[in-house]
A and B are shown apart, each in its own frame.
Chain A
């Protein structure tokens, strides 16, 4: 039996009211959960995956750069990079206010860098960046530094050692100006190419720059499951995106030729450039600019002082002298003069001028390089002995505009569209040029200077090589190129090959008798007694060429170059091709302040031809690894093969 109380009804009503209130609240909550789990489920599922799965970028392997025989000139080396994971760091920073300072102190100690520098890098890397991507605090960490960091991985779990690929040039400065270098993307690069991302490394110079879209490849990604503390758990493999490696690039450059040419400059401590072309297709077999930089330096992030060292080098090591250096061609321009004179008919092969050591043209006295004079010279002999008087006369008869026309036809005054960056066009003067660019009248006496490759005329070594090639192959001007083909790795592992075509830019009409006379003259330069290029002579090989020595300062009278300080010495040129009847190789050597073309530039020509025609040159070859031989080469006493 129940005990009834007065307030029973009163309480029951309130309990019922509360019960309904509770039911309503539960229904409301169930409805809310329905909204979250039923209606918005997809949105939250995506967020949940994004939470647990983090994208880890896999940088692509940059394509290799190889020489024409497949010798690797640029590859990738494993390196280590230190990264800070901000997701892991966040709670640690919250727990310990000193943590950032501690971490920076630790890093400074490990990296042996001032803490301020580490901090500056930290600021730069974190500024405006998302917290979800780790940032790099140091590149190229040594193995012992890696060990130190990993020993402290419990104290600093936010520090990660990430293996990366570093661009490596195994031969250091070898072919540096052809290869170029890589560097970090800057804002201008990103503006130009939306695909690029901050922190990426791209080509900045040379082939690395020009063929960057091929070399770069495409980055991949792994998706790793992370817990809330940022610990990496396991990879979610179905989502994996494989990186696509960059294409391999085969240069037209021949390792052996390139090496010998560079060695010559290095061993003789010469500043200058050498270009070796195949006159049949415009392939660049060697391209040297000395002194060269070491592209490996650019593969690492370097501090401002390193950059300053590079840019303040008085020899401008970043300058690719072969395509960017502008110099007076000097006597090698006499090839153009002879061609122009003969083709225009102002002289014929039998025309002779008398050289008495000097002559008066347009009221001024011009000297021949030989005080005693050459006597009567025709075109062949004029080329052979490089007689100035002959070409003064020819130049005077042609006039500057005709000279200009032929120089332009033979590639001077315009860029050759070689597949390298920063090529310069040089200047080929004319009356029009004087009017438009200089705002002055052309003085006929200037024509006389131009006739021997001086005056305002300036050219690049590559242009000289192109001109020589045109003379060698009978008038075809090729677009020179340093890349032979691009190999793209297919999915199945095979290669797809893209050949860089040989393109004829234009053909110059050179009359057959003119060609014959000029070639004969050029052959005599090297092979006849008294020729200026005798130092390039190789037994068993018909080398034709032309030496040149360019006055850097005007001096009166005849002086010995060796007595002048370095920067006032003459530039030395040697432009040549071989064999005479079926030219396969054009060699142009330019030595800045070298002295004389025959003495300083021609020996390298000899070396390169010997190397290039290894099989053609009969008998014993020079042992170039023998220091004694090299000494002799330097002395100019070049032993002929098989004759001692």
Chain B
């Protein structure tokens, strides 16, 4: 009934692009894993995640986002509790307590916390319509974002914590900060970075930065990932080696080839043409979403879309950049394409919310 009512306002191009990207993702996960895993468990699971994601997307389209704004503090609160739970009871997986295990399933609350935090930030700006933030509201926004970030840093999962960065940027750039404050902040950052390097970064993180600056330094160790991903992508050439024919991914030279480095599989098997198509789809998707943001009915809708798109853009740019060593390696997945239940569901929920705002852009629906 909702779709009947709202049907004409749904942008099918937007949703279609998302589904096409998700399908490409399933194919790439299949191609990356069929060789080492003849049972195709991973590819089938990813297909399942996409279906679940689409259902969640529909669910988050159905409920008016204003209602979600109303219950946002509750969702946010639940998220915080889960993160606190992890802090106390979390199991260590690869030295990180970021997974909750329930009935054989495991999920990362931090992924969902991104959505809840974005909702909270949007809710805050819905009621704050001044062009520039004053100190008090600035601190409130920073507090909303920093609470989950702080808990995630404790896990300690710096990659995920860093993926909250786009929310800070949105809050500051779109919330409005005066130029002189920007200057001051840049100065503080310039001073804080070296301090962080010496005080807070763990040795493996330092190593990653060093390796990023010179990936060939140790081809069989930390720089290995980037070097191998680059070999995969470069050897794909213009046309690629063909579906299922990439040796780098298939034979396991590219580590994490079905998750963080899945783009390398794309580059190897589909070549520059495949890379261009996927990048084009992403750009089209982001452009559409930002257009929705401009047309949103209210300030809260605009901020919700911007916040969620920021996640997309951040993930896409960071992930794609690290494939060819433009940026250092971080554990940031490629939206809709990388294998992973939590992140696939999270991005589909985000799409649902963006579409939610879009289909309710008119105050009086026809």
Contact = CB atoms under 8 A, between A and B. Distances in A.
Interface string B232-249: 111111100000000110
Nearest to B257: A228
B294 interface: yes
What 3 A-B pairs are tightest by C-beta distance, nearest first? A44-B234, A48-B235, A228-B252
B41 interface: no
Highest count of chain B CB atoms <10 Å: which of A19, A40, A52, A229: A19
Interface stretch (A26-34, A348-356, A439-447): A26-34
Contact of B313 (A2, A12, A22): A22
Interface residues of A, number: 43
Interface in A71-100: 90
Given A36-B233, A52-B247, 11 more contacts: A2-B295, A2-B297, A2-B363, A11-B174, A19-B290, A29-B320, A40-B234, A48-B235, A51-B231, A52-B248, A52-B251
B129 interface: yes
B298 A44 contact: no
A553 interface: no
A2 B232 CA distance: 50
A25 interface: yes
B197 interface: no
Nearest to B220: A90
Contacts of B286: 19, 22
B137 interface: no
Contact of A45 (B235, B276, B295, B363): B235
Interface of A: 1-3, 5-7, 10-12, 14-15, 18-19, 22-23, 25-26, 29-30, 32-34, 36-38, 40-41, 43-45, 47-49, 51-52, 90, 131, 225-229, 233
B237 A41 contact: yes
A41 B236 CA distance: 7
Contacts of A43: 234
B251 A22 contact: no
A37 B233 contact: yes
Highest count of chain A CB atoms <10 Å: which of B234, B248, B293, B294: B234
Contacts of B306: 15
Contact of B234 (A7, A37, A131): A37
B334 to A, nearest CB: 12
A532 to B, nearest CB: 78
Q: Per DSSP, are chain A's interface residues mostly helix, strand or loop, or mixed?
A: helix
A26 B255 CA distance: 25
Interface stretch (B7-15, B78-86, B181-189, B267-275): B267-275
A22 B233 contact: no
A29 B321 contact: yes
B287 A225 contact: no
B317 to A, nearest CB: 6
Contact of B251 (A29, A32, A38, A226): A226
Contacts of A37: 233-234, 236-238, 267, 271-272, 275
A29 B279 contact: yes
B299 interface: yes
Interface in B333-363: 361-363
B131 A36 contact: no
B252 A38 contact: no
B282 interface: yes
B253 interface: yes
A48 B230 CA distance: 10
B324 interface: yes
